Amino acid sequence: MKVLITGATGFVGKYVLKELAERGHEIVVVSRNIEKAKTRIDIPHEAFKWDPLNEELPLVALEGVEAVIHLLGENIAAGRWTDAQKERIYNSRVIGTKNLVSSINKVESVKSLVSSSAVGFYKIDTGEDLNEHSPKGDNWLSTVCDDWENEAKKAENLRGVILRTGVVLGHDGGAMAKMMLPFKMGAGGILGNGKQWMSWIHVKDLASVYVDAIEKDEYSGVYNAVSPKAVSNHSFTKALGSVLSRPTIFPVPKFALKALFGEMASILLDSQKVIPKRLIDSGFKFDYVDIKEAFEDVCHKKKLGQSPIKVTHQVFEQYQWLPGKREEVFSFFGKPENLESITPEWLKFKIIRKSHEEVIEGATFDYKLKIKGFPIVWKSVIERFNPGHEFVDWQISGPYKVWYHTHSFKDYKGGTLMKDQIYYKVPFGFIGELLLGAYIKNDVQKIFEHRRKSIEG
């Protein structure tokens, strides 16, 4: 299916793109800045320029498109809700949706529109379970959501779906991007009295809902896209502290939040216990229902390879489309010597010993390299090997505390979609992460960007 997605470079958009690609869909992206979007999106896609506040979506972008996923909207937690910021939040949702729908109504190919909204639609502090039939609230945020949804409902002659989301949890954006550092430093704490209900969803579950909604004709109307188990802010805070092994003894009183954030503090203090009744009734399977399990995934706290315990890791992920057949691409990466040809010269990377000529399960490889002039010896083992599809190399000894690299390959658009997923842990614990984390992350990105260009060149 050919799918157009707005807001593709945003936090949720990145995961929806991955889910679309994993399921084999053809992707069209629209952006105000196409060049910037290309540098941020490594999933194969078509791209078209669109200024959502000042023009309708160009019809050329909708040629052959069967489904639209609409995620566009100014971040409501980007800063204090000044009059100017509130106007940006409102217009990005309402006017942007109006201009999108106006174009959709002019083409016949689009069969479904899945548009985002938020649980801010509902009344606050009711103490009741809120389902899709619960009444609209009476504050500014509920008005934004209502007007936003009404514009999406103006799409004609297609199947319309609206997803009302809560707090979205993921490691590389959303609410967690602001929480992680203070919590890692032991400065996290409950907000207000901690009794307010928080309706949340893991970003991977949310991406699955969006793609299910375009694939399955039974989806129609409004759905609450939240976990079946809302939690109090107190439980939310304690679960995150537990996963990070950090104390949570510094509560932030209500008056302090209001002084810091003004009206925006309402999204931290308002209580809404939202239930995803229609998703549950539809049979949707959540991968993350328990808040602690969700945090373990978000913080990459998991057992890897031969590790006997769960450890918190950093993660790097990159996709690349190659025109060759999957078996041919897999074979190239299954030859250790090819790794030398696509590694940056400044690393002085060289294989010095190998137990087998090609990658197979149990094979070990020894490399030498230089990092900022310092010689390093790296030894890895192939822990898992699925010919033509996947292999995993695991660092036995080397510069990282942990390095666990999954290489996967799948047929996509007449070629091969290759995915690298690396869980890694820097040395020297939290201090090492604090002092070296950003530096090492930047180096990893440079290495794989060089590799991407070498393969494409």
Q: What are 216-259's pLDDT values in tens digits?
A: 999 999 999 999 999 999 999 999 999 999 999 888 898 888 88
**Residues 326-355 pLDDT 10s:** 999 999 998 888 888 899 988 889 999 999
The DSSP secondary structure of 157-223, one letter per residue, reads SSEEEEEEE-EEE-TTSHHHHHHHHHHHTT----BTTS-SEE-EEEHHHHHHHHHHHHH-TT--EEE
Q: What is the mean pLDDT of residues 263-284?
A: 94
User: β-pairing, 159-165 with 221-225?
Assistant: parallel
pLDDT given for residue 181 in this prediction: 77
pLDDT given for residue 302 in this prediction: 85
Closest by CA position to 70, among listed 117, 121, 6: 6
Residue 306 lies in a domain: no
> Do residue 436 and residue 293 come from a single domain?
no
> Do residue 64 and residue 144 come from a single domain?
yes
Residue 56 DSSP one-character state = P
Say how many CA atoms lie within 13 Å of 31 toward its Cβ: 19
The residue written with tokens 């190239």 in the block is 332
> Do residue 290 and residue 324 come from a single domain?
no
Number of domains forming the structure of the chain: 2
pLDDT given for residue 119 in this prediction: 97
> Does an H or E element contain 456, and which?
helix 429-456
Distances (CA, A) of 286 to 86, 276, 291: 33, 11, 12
The residue written with tokens 């092994």 in the block is 245
> Among 246, 268, 299, where does a domain finish?
299
> Among 299, 328, 353, where does a domain finish?
299
> Do residue 404 and residue 326 come from a single domain?
yes
> Do residue 221 and residue 289 come from a single domain?
yes
Residue 427 lies in a domain: yes
> Do residue 406 and residue 288 come from a single domain?
no
* Paired tokens of 158: 């297609």
* pLDDT over 90 at 261, yes or no: no
> Do residue 337 and residue 198 come from a single domain?
no
pLDDT given for residue 432 in this prediction: 75
Domain that holds residue 441: 311-456
pLDDT given for residue 84 in this prediction: 94
Q: What is the mean pLDDT of residues 267-287?
A: 96
pLDDT given for residue 428 in this prediction: 79
The DSSP secondary structure of 329-394, one letter per residue, reads HHHHHTSHHHHHHTS-GGG--EEEEESSSS--TT-EEEEEEEETTEEEEEEEEEEEEETTTEEEEE
Q: By the 8 A CB rule, do 50 and 57 touch?
A: yes
* Paired tokens of 244: 């990070």
37 or 5, greater pLDDT:
5
Phi-psi region for residue 357, left (φ > 0), alpha (ψ -120 to 50) or beta? alpha
